[in-house]
Structure 1
Amino acid sequence: MQATQPNNPLHGVTLEQLLNELVAFHGWDALGRKIEIRCFTHDPSITSSLKFLRRTPWARARVESLYIEMVQGVGARQQ
């Protein structure tokens, strides 16, 4: 079966996976500097960040955008 969204880098990626990858790549400090939201800058955790991002569409959009930039940047370096 073919992927239904081959050009969508978010297809099949949960918010938790996305956040874990961003934290592993950037770290909480850099993530808090790139996207200034309290759940990244003050006592950050995956659980509190997921809660906030699920309720706040503008913040989730910024995090997803940063993830797409990271994925495209990593892919470009590997080629």
Structure 2
Amino acid sequence: MKTKNSDKEQPNNPLHGVKLAEILQYLVSEYGWKELGAIIKINSFNNNPTIKSSLKFLRKTPWARTKVENLYLKSIQK
């Protein structure tokens, strides 16, 4: 049976408990869509960007999600 204390389950995962939507909202507020699209070449960041369309793409595309998560980790460690 799993415990409800998720910190014990993944103590070394800095993304544990952080939703993809929260990550994306943080990056958009930090960089803006234009700069985010320049850093990570994803159409949903460059052409009529929305949180909803970007989340849909990121959930289906592992390489893009990894790039977004890595940028988030670098950004919060500044």
Task: Output the TM-score relative to the length of structure 1.
Answer: 0.85
- How many residue pairs were aligned? 73
In our comparison, the structure showing a higher alpha carbon Rg is 2
- 1:28-67 alignment, distance < 5 Å: 28-67=33-72
Give the direction of change, closer, same or farther, for the CA distance of 1:64–1:23 in structure 2 (3 Å limit).
same
Unaligned runs of 5+ in 2: none
Following the alignment from structure 1 to structure 2, what is the Cα–Cα distance between the partners of residues 7 and 48?
30
Sequence identity of aligned pairs in percent? 53
Structure 1 vs Structure 2 CA RMSD: 1.3
Q: TM-score w.r.t. structure 2 length?
A: 0.86
* Counterpart among 8, 14, 22 of residue 9 in structure 1: 14
Against the structure 1 CA distance between its residues 6 and 72, is the aligned structure 2 distance closer, same or farther, given a 3 Å change threshold?
A: farther
